[in-house]
Structure formats: structure tokens, C-alpha cells
């Protein structure tokens, strides 16, 4: 063991970013390939990734299984895993779950910030839990081996997804709300239920999810992880940095507003600060990733616990999650 995995990034992808992945020794990165994209638009995004895989084949390749992470480390490359932050790529069609799994998709959020056809997002006033279609799609994702991700979902929907899913689910990028009370962060109840069901929590470095936002220190971030490990053990914890390196602010507008509103929505931002917030100076790109391990060791977590959080836990989860249900 001893793998480095960041389970959520949405950078403005470039040779620079991929070389920083290699500089950081990243064995795998789960990348978002859809926020509000339809099926056809998602396929266009996969085409763009196919082009990157061809152009930068010495740096990256498409990952489909846990073994691809091991292969990446052996080859000195980074395995790229696809995921969606919204179920928009399946549109209203449950048959697209299997199609998109075949194209490489391994994680799908049941909702982004708003109500979806499947579940409720954390910015809605009400949360009715999983819908009729949501329950059907959870079963289908379980069947084919696509992981249910509830990072942006509301509380009841998240608890129902944990209960309804026959396989462990993930919250790929969020922090405990008790530490930083953002709507996007998660209650202790959710974190305990998630871990008790074998699921994974990826800690986020997106400043709106951090105590003190961009001013949060490495020690504060790592202490937050260590205190969560005290509560639920270290085996169900990992990193999902939400790194959005080099993205223009037009991208955060797309994330927040998609095509659903004619009025401006600032999401976690505000009229005074509508764009991407600056990242903490100790986590600006993939080459900073190993520094998280040093910070975690300084909290007193064991080497094995730190190795788990830095990637081995995600690898174990990939091994058991990405194939068809037994």
C-alpha cells in the first residue's frame, strides 16, 4: 500500500496540471466531468478527455478499477476516474446509468445544489428524500458499480441514500458542519451513518468549506480530520480536495446557475465576492498534496492511518465499488 488519491478535482486541465500531479506523486484523481451537462454534452467532455489521454499518455490514463491505481503507480502515471456532480448526464433515462458506467463513470451525485429527479440538494428549502426515480436509480447504480455521491445533497436525502443503497456510498468532498457550518458541510449524524455503512468521506479544501476559509491553516485542517477519525475511525476517511485550479470565474457561475435560473445565484459566494475564493497557500496544486500527509502525521495519527487517509482507503473502496454487484 501507500497510494496517493485525491477523490475530487475540477481543474482547468492542462499539461501543467498533469505534470503537477506527477510532481505530487498522485496515483489517482477522481475528476468531475459534468455539473449540469446533458448526456450528449457529457459525451463531448469524455471526447475532450480522450484527446488529453492521447496527448499526455506519458502522464495520465483512464482508470476503471482499483487495479488501475496500482498500474498507475507502477508506470509512474496518474489514473483519472470520471464522476458527475449532478445526475444530469442520465437525463430522465435510467438506462443511461449502465451506458455511462461503460464509458468510465464511477461516481454520480444524486443531486447538486437543487432538487433533481432523484434527490434534493442542500440549497432547497425542503428535503423530501429520495424520489420514486431516485430509488430506482440507486438500485441500478448498485447493480452496475457506480458510486452514489451525496456531497451536495440535503440531509434527509443523504440519510435515505445511505439506507436505501445496498453498497457503501461516498461523500467525495465535504467537511463536518460542526467544524465549519456551511450548508454544504455534513452533520455528525450523516458522517456517523455514512461510516457505519462502510462509506467514505473525502475532506474538502475548497475555502467555502473551511473554517476561516482561505486563511485556514494546514494544522487546523488536519486537526479537523484527526477529530473526525476520533469519532468514526480513520478507515472511512480520505481527501476530495475540490481543487478548481486555473478555472475562470465563469466556471463557478456555470456550477451555481447552470441553465435553471434567469436571476443571479451566488451559491456559497456573495455579490461582494462572486468568484472562486483563493486556495490556502499550502494547497495550490497537486504538487502540494504530499504536504497533507505531513500535516496529518503532526496531529498524532499513525503512519497507517495517514496512509489510509492519503489514498489507501479510497483504493480499498474503489476495489469493492466499481465492479458489478456480486
Q: Does 258 bind a copy of itself (CB under 8 A)?
A: yes
Q: Distance (Å, rounded) from C-alpha 276 to C-alpha 293?
A: 25
Q: Nearest distance from residue 276's CB to a copy of itself, in Å? A: 22
Quote the cell numbers at residue 48.
475532450
Number of residues in contact with a copy of itself, rule: CB under 8 A? 33
Q: Distance (Å, rounded) from C-alpha 294 to C-alpha 158?
A: 32
- Pick the piece of the chain touching a copy of itself (CB under 8 A) from 47-55, 256-264, 283-291, 294-302: 256-264
- Pick the piece of the chain touching a copy of itself (CB under 8 A) from 60-68, 117-125, 182-190, 289-297: 117-125
Backbone φ and ψ for 58, nearest 5 degrees, come out as -80, -10
Q: Is 268 left (phi over 0), alpha (psi -120 to 50) or beta?
A: alpha
> DSSP letters of 216-235?
--HHHHHHHHHHHHHHH-ST
Among residue numbers 88 through 107, which ones bind a copy of itself (CB under 8 A)?
Answer: 88, 91-95
- Pick the piece of the chain touching a copy of itself (CB under 8 A) from 4-12, 85-93, 243-251, 281-289: 85-93
CA angle 33/34/35 to nearest 5° reads 135
- Pick the piece of the chain touching a copy of itself (CB under 8 A) from 123-131, 270-278, 300-308, 312-320: 123-131
**Comparison of 215 and 325: residue with beta carbon closer to a copy of itself:** 325
Q: Which of 114, 187, 217, 299 binds a copy of itself (CB under 8 A)?
A: 114
Q: Nearest distance from residue 191's CB to a copy of itself, in Å? A: 24
Q: Which of 250, 293, 268 is nearest to 206 (CA)?
A: 268
Quote the cell numbers at residue 96.
443511461
Mutual angle of helices 95-102 and 132-144, in 10-degree steps: 30
- Pick the piece of the chain touching a copy of itself (CB under 8 A) from 54-62, 134-142, 232-240, 313-321: 134-142
Q: Does 266 bind a copy of itself (CB under 8 A)?
A: no
The helix (run of H) or strand (run of E) holding residue 194 is helix 188-196
**Comparison of 129 and 199: residue with beta carbon closer to a copy of itself:** 129
Q: Distance (Å, rounded) from C-alpha 69 to C-alpha 80?
A: 9
Q: Nearest distance from residue 164's CB to a copy of itself, in Å? A: 13
Residues that bind a copy of itself (CB under 8 A): 36, 38, 88, 91-95, 114-117, 120, 123-129, 131-134, 136, 139-140, 258-263
Amino acid at each position: 500500500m501507500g497510494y496517493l488519491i485525491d477523490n475530487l478535482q475540477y481543474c482547468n486541465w492542462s499539461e501543467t496540471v498533469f505534470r503537477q500531479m506527477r510532481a505530487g506523486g498522485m496515483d489517482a484523481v477522481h475528476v468531475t466531468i459534468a455539473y449540469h451537462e446533458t448526456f450528449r454534452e457529457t459525451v463531448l467532455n469524455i471526447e475532450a478527455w480522450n484527446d488529453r489521454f492521447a496527448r499526455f499518455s506519458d502522464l495520465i490514463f483512464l482508470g476503471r478499477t482499483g487495479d488501475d491505481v496500482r498500474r498507475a503507480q507502477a508506470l509512474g502515471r496518474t489514473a483519472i476516474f470520471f464522476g458527475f456532480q449532478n445526475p444530469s448526464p442520465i437525463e430522465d433515462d435510467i438506462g443511461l446509468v449502465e451506458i455511462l458506467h461503460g464509458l468510465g463513470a464511477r461516481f454520480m451525485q444524486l443531486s447538486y445544489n437543487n432538487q433533481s429527479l432523484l434527490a434534493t440538494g442542500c440549497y432547497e428549502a425542503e428535503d423530501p428524500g429520495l424520489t420514486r426515480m431516485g430509488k430506482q436509480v440507486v438500485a441500478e447504480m448498485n447493480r452496475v458499480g457506480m458510486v452514489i455521491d451525496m456531497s451536495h445533497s440535503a440531509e434527509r436525502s443523504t440519510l435515505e441514500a445511505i439506507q436505501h443503497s445496498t453498497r457503501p456510498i461516498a461523500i467525495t468532498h465535504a467537511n463536518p458542519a460542526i467544524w465549519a457550518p456551511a450548508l454544504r458541510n455534513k452533520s455528525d449524524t450523516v458522517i456517523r451513518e455514512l461510516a457505519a455503512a462502510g462509506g467514505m468521506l473525502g475532506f474538502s479544501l475548497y475555502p467555502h468549506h473551511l473554517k476561516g476559509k482561505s486563511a485556514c491553516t494546514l494544522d487546523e485542517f488536519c486537526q479537523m480530520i484527526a477529530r473526525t477519525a476520533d469519532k468514526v475511525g480513520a478507515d472511512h476517511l480520505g481527501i476530495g480536495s475540490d481543487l478548481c485550479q486555473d478555472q475562470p470565474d465563469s466556471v463557478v457561475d456555470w456550477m451555481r446557475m447552470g441553465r435553471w435560473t434567469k436571476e443571479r445565484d451566488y451559491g456559497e459566494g456573495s455579490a461582494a465576492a462572486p468568484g472562486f475564493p483563493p486556495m490556502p497557500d499550502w494547497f495550490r496544486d497537486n504538487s502540494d498534496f504530499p504536504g497533507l500527509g505531513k500535516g496529518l502525521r503532526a496531529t498524532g495519527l499513525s503512519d497507517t492511518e495517514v496512509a489510509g487517509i492519503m489514498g489507501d482507503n479510497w483504493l480499498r473502496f474503489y476495489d469493492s465499488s466499481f465492479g458489478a454487484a456480486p
